[in-house]
Structure 1
Amino acid sequence: MYYRFDPTFIILIPAIILAFYAQIKVQTTFNEYLRVESLRGYTGAEVARYILDRNGLNNVSIEVTGGMLSDHYDPRSRVLRLSNDVYYGTSIASISVAAHEVGHAIQHANAYFPLVFRNSLVPIVNISSSMSWIFIMMGFVASRLFLDIGILLFSAAVLFQVITLPVEFNASSRAIDELVANNLITFDEEKLSKRVLNAAALTYIAAAASAILQLLRLVLIRNSRDD
């Protein structure tokens, strides 16, 4: 069977390349600085606990979670979950990632607007992300109305990815500020921590770029069906 090449796929190539690069960058950078011990010798869990307590967040607990780079803050249960390497590790990578996740806890406590807005989108995105492609496929074989609905639903997922960027950048900024202000890292280590967090930020940039370009592609496909 002959399939006509879809030229709009070219739009996605930069996002695919960026996503591939970001994945390699975050893994290599994390592994590199996982082997660089911090001079203070604190574990990621100790750093997280210290910063949390200094910000009056004694009610936020810290748990170990499985997986690599699976660290996250759960605002519903107010729990900071750190991977094994981060929780027990005393490396630059460990304390940087731990401080970043604490940054999210501080955002939550301060009702940081981008975080509040992103969290409000979660129920919508959970539905729209799964339903959008159903409507898009229906739009290809049936009415264009289904395609329009699918694109609208997919737009919610794109918005979620875009609003995630300031949330992540701000959490990293808070992490560096807390590490420095509380004398948990030295001046030279501050540069290394920024490298770890900047590498991690690339994954969110890649995800947002991919979502935006995919939306652009869908719009172009939709418009070409009108011609």
Structure 2
Amino acid sequence: MSCNIQVKKLCGTQQKEVNDMPYGYYGFYWMDYTYIFVIIGAVICLIASAGMNSTFSRYQRVRSMSGMTGAMAAERILRDAGIHDVQVQHIQGNLTDHYNPMNKTLSLSDSVYNSTSVAAVGVAAHECGHAIQHAKGYVPLRVRGAFVPIANIGSNLAWPLIIIGLIFRGSMSSVLIQAGIIMFSLAVLFQLITLPVEFNASHRAMQELEHTGILGSAELKDTRKVLTAAAMTYVASAASMILQLLRLIILFGGRSRDDN
């Protein structure tokens, strides 16, 4: 009988220690089973990145029949679209290509600017797709542009708010943690807004490459594979962010309820 009482007391003490942990208890003591979300997200991103690098490297060795470089293809597509105020320039790096709507510059990286491969032409055309979106006032692009500062604030404040919330006790803790989760949600929302923008830019790129005759039908299939692989990196990034948000809700949602 006394032994059972001691066991009950021990169990009760352990339960109290669990309840007094900084956040919800998942696993045995130091083990946090929600890390599986982080691992899954990281694996998804690694697979997508590896797929993109592999696909780009493969078709980087396939020379386009037109012999046009990425820069030449970009200039041709922009002229065909009636865009004459966008400057095509060379920047350092590998696949650091981007279009800046603020100063209307289309920057092509080392692996794209002077390359005549179908992969390079496809990437250049994709960035032209963003320039065309900007010229035509594509709504999702405008929404994403307006959301950039909000997303930056959210990503910068999310974890500091959560960490400070863990230090406090009571209702202030709950408020800070919930605010941190909301801030992180803004960064996740930005990733979701980015998806239709990127997919549409690739769609416009394929249309322009076909319309201008820069690439033949067989080359278009190869280029589509490159752009699809690139799009998957954005999908993977969004999925990873969603998993991290789910982990935050699981970890700290219980604490918010306990503090109320």
With normalisation by structure 1, the TM-score equals 0.96
Aligned length: 226
The alignment status of 1:77 with 2:88, answered yes or no, reads no
Match of 2:165 in 1: 139
Match of 1:213 in 2: 243
Q: Which amino acid aligns with 1:169?
A: F
> Mapping of 1:95-174 within 5 angstroms?
95-142=121-168, 143-174=173-204
Distance 1:198 1:79 in 2: 24
Distance 1:84 1:220 in 2: 43
The alignment status of 1:43 with 2:69, answered yes or no, reads yes
Distance 1:30 1:3 in 2: 45
Structure 1: gaps spanning 5 or more residues: none
Q: Which amino acid aligns with 1:125?
A: A
Structure 1 residue 3, shift from structure 2 partner? 5.8
Structure 1 residue 134, shift from structure 2 partner? 0.3
Structure 1 residue 113, shift from structure 2 partner? 1.0
Match of 2:120 in 1: 94
Distance 2:152 2:245 in 1: 17
Match of 2:6 in 1: none
Distance 1:6 1:84 in 2: 43
Q: Which amino acid aligns with 1:224?
A: G
Q: Which amino acid aligns with 2:36?
A: I
Q: After superposition, give the CA deviation of every residue in 1:136-183 in whole Å (9 maximum; x if it has no partner).
A: 111222211110000111111000001111010000011001000111
Match of 2:88 in 1: 62
**Match 1:195 to one of 225, 235, 239:** 225
The alignment status of 1:177 with 2:204, answered yes or no, reads no
SS of the aligned residue for 1:7 comes to: coil
Q: Which amino acid aligns with 2:53?
A: Q
Distance 2:31 2:128 in 1: 47
Structure 1 residue 28, shift from structure 2 partner? 1.1
Structure 1 residue 13, shift from structure 2 partner? 2.8
Distance 1:121 1:61 in 2: 25
Distance 1:50 1:123 in 2: 33
Q: Which amino acid aligns with 1:83?
A: S
Q: After superposition, give the CA deviation of every residue in 1:30-75 in whole Å (9 maximum; x if it has no partner).
A: 1111110001111111110011011111100010000000000000
Structure 1 residue 214, shift from structure 2 partner? 0.8
Q: Which amino acid aligns with 2:238?
A: A
Identity %: 47
**Match 2:35 to one of 1, 6, 9:** 9
RMSD over aligned Cα, in angstroms?
1.2
> Which 4+ residue blocks in structure 1 deviate beyond 3 angstroms?
none
The alignment status of 1:222 with 2:248, answered yes or no, reads no
Distance 2:40 2:206 in 1: 30
Structure 2: gaps spanning 5 or more residues: 1-27
Once the two structures are overlaid, the 10-residue window that deviates more, 11-20 or 77-86, is 11-20
Larger radius of gyration: 2
Q: Which amino acid aligns with 1:63?
A: Q
With normalisation by structure 2, the TM-score equals 0.84
Q: Which amino acid aligns with 2:72?
A: E
Distance 1:14 1:112 in 2: 33
